[in-house]
């Protein structure tokens, strides 16, 4: 499958996760064969104002390509300007957020608010499309009510405006992340448009991914929460879909991933900041393993790489002994 001119290998796509899918996280996921990785959502206004912190969110390396960078905003001129900046940064695909239901975002007319304003959305999409040559995608929710009509309207409109693919997370804005995703809507969107459709929502296992592909006909599956601390979800899904044996994930692999994530994070943001982040993040990789609580508690005051490695290795030794 291609999104516009960009070939997308495999069947899996990493969902954008604010505060999580930074470069070190994406590298772990890419190593597990994910076909397309996505940045965290980036404020178009932040890019417009040249905020260095915002601009840094676009940083990338060749090993993770293809990369999709997601922006959020509503103003057509600002979105077009931000889109140009994303394209100039070397991103392969620009994605626009039509799904964020956080109040702070929705009250500016951005994110999920776009789903109930088709006319404004069309103006914005046309301005962005005219501003860039790289492929353009959108990520939508069901809309404001459970009928799914909002999603169908926006998906059709997007196709008319030259959008190259649409990712569907079939929960309403009001649902947040509660309840379950209504996969039947992914199928309805797939039937309504001829651009690729990426299905998203509640994939936790390779079996879930197979079921979504089969029951909805979607072109790719997008995984978010199940990838947090568990990048192997991608190699496991890719193997299952290709009919290969699904690889096991050993404690030693988890320990190695923690060390890699630590070092990549230090390289990206410096030792001090990375170690503060690792206090909560290394624990992600221990989910479901023995002594995970004890390991998490040992991370509370991390302040150096040496200390973090000692905790990681100590946990590895504890796992081997148990």
Ligand X SMILES: Cc1cc2nc3c(=O)[nH]c(=O)nc-3n(C[C@H](O)[C@H](O)[C@H](O)COP(=O)(O)O)c2cc1C
Q: Is 18 in the site for ligand X (CB under 6 A)?
A: yes
Classified as helix, coil or strand, 247 is: coil
The whole-angstrom separation of Cα 43 and Cα 78 is 10
Write the CB contacts of 175 (distance below 8 Å, at least 6 apart in sequence). 142
The nearest distance, CB 180 to ligand X, in angstroms, is 9
The nearest distance, CB 40 to ligand X, in angstroms, is 5
* Residue labelled with tokens 């059709």: 156
Q: What is the CA radius of gyration of the chain?
A: 20
Which of the ranges 60-68, 76-84, 198-206, 289-297 carries the binding residues for ligand X, by CB under 6 A? Answer: 198-206
Site for ligand X (CB under 6 A): which residue of 71, 223, 255, 299?
A: 223
Structure tokens at 196: 């690729």
The whole-angstrom separation of Cα 311 and Cα 124 is 49
DSSP codes, 64-112: G-SEEEEEE---HHHHHHHHHHHHHTT-SEEEEEE----HHHHTTT-GG
Which of the ranges 47-55, 77-85, 219-227, 244-252 carries the binding residues for ligand X, by CB under 6 A? Answer: 219-227
Kindly determine how many residues on this chain lie close enough to bind ligand X according to the rule CB under 6 A. Answer: 22
Catalytic residue among 34, 100, 218, 275: 100
The whole-angstrom separation of Cα 4 and Cα 251 is 40
Neighbours of 160 (CB within 10 A): 12
Which of the ranges 14-22, 26-34, 149-157, 273-281 carries the binding residues for ligand X, by CB under 6 A? Answer: 14-22
The whole-angstrom separation of Cα 31 and Cα 247 is 14
Closer Cβ to ligand X, 169 or 311, answer by number: 169
The nearest distance, CB 202 to ligand X, in angstroms, is 5
The whole-angstrom separation of Cα 13 and Cα 93 is 13
Site for ligand X (CB under 6 A): which residue of 3, 6, 11, 15?
A: 15
* Residue labelled with tokens 């568990």: 230
> From residue 72 to residue 101, what is the string marking binding to ligand X with x (rule CB under 6 A)?
-------------------------x-xx-
Q: How many CA atoms lie within 13 A of 304 on its CB side?
A: 3
Q: Is 224 in the site for ligand X (CB under 6 A)?
A: yes
Which of the ranges 142-150, 153-161, 218-226, 313-321 carries the binding residues for ligand X, by CB under 6 A? Answer: 218-226
Are the C-beta atoms of residues 140 and 169 closer than 8 Å to each other? Answer: yes
Q: By CB under 6 A, what part of segment 255-294 binds ligand X?
A: none
Q: Is 38 one of the annotated active-site residues of the chain?
A: no
Which residue is nearest to ligand X, using beta carbons? Answer: 224
The whole-angstrom separation of Cα 114 and Cα 110 is 6
Closer Cβ to ligand X, 68 or 265, answer by number: 68
Q: Is 139 in the site for ligand X (CB under 6 A)?
A: yes
- Positions in the binding site for ligand X (CB under 6 A): 15-18, 20, 40-41, 70, 97, 99-100, 139, 169, 177, 200-203, 223-226
Active-site residues: which are they? 100
């Amino acid at each position: 499958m291609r999104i516009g001119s960009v070939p997308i290998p495999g069947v899996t796509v990493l969902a954008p996760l604010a505060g999580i899918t930074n470069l070190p996280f994406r590298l772990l996921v890419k190593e597990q064969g994910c076909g397309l990785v996505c940045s965290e959502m980036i404020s178009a206004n932040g890019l417009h104002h040249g905020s260095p912190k915002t601009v840094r969110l676009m940083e990338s390396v060749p090993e993770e390509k293809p990369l999709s960078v997601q922006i959020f905003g509503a103003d057509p001129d600002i979105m077009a300007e931000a889109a140009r900046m994303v394209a100039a940064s070397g991103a392969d695909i620009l994605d626009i957020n039509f799904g964020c239901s956080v109040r702070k975002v929705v009250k500016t007319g951005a994110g999920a608010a776009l789903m109930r304003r088709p006319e404004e959305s069309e103006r914005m999409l046309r301005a962005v499309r005219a501003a860039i040559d790289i492929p353009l995608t959108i990520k939508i929710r069901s809309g404001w009510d459970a009928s799914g009509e909002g999603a169908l309207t926006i998906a059709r409109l997007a196709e008319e405006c030259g959008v190259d693919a649409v990712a569907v997370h079939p929960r309403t804005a009001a649902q947040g992340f509660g309840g379950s995703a209504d996969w039947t809507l992914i199928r309805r969107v797939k039937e309504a448009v001829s651009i690729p459709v990426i299905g998203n929502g509640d994939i936790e296992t390779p079996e879930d991914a197979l079921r979504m592909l089969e029951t909805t006909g979607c072109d790719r599956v997008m995984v978010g929460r199940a990838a947090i601390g568990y990048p192997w979800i991608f190699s496991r899904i890719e193997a299952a879909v290709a009919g290969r044996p699904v690889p096991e994930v050993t404690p030693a692999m988890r320990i190695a991933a923690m060390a890699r994530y630590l070092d990549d994070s230090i390289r990206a943001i410096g030792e001090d900041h990375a170690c503060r982040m690792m206090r909560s993040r290394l624990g992600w990789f221990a989910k479901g393993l023995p002594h995970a609580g004890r390991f998490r508690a040992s991370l509370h005051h991390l302040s150096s790489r040496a200390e973090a490695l000692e905790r990681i290795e100590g946990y590895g030794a504890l796992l081997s002994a148990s």
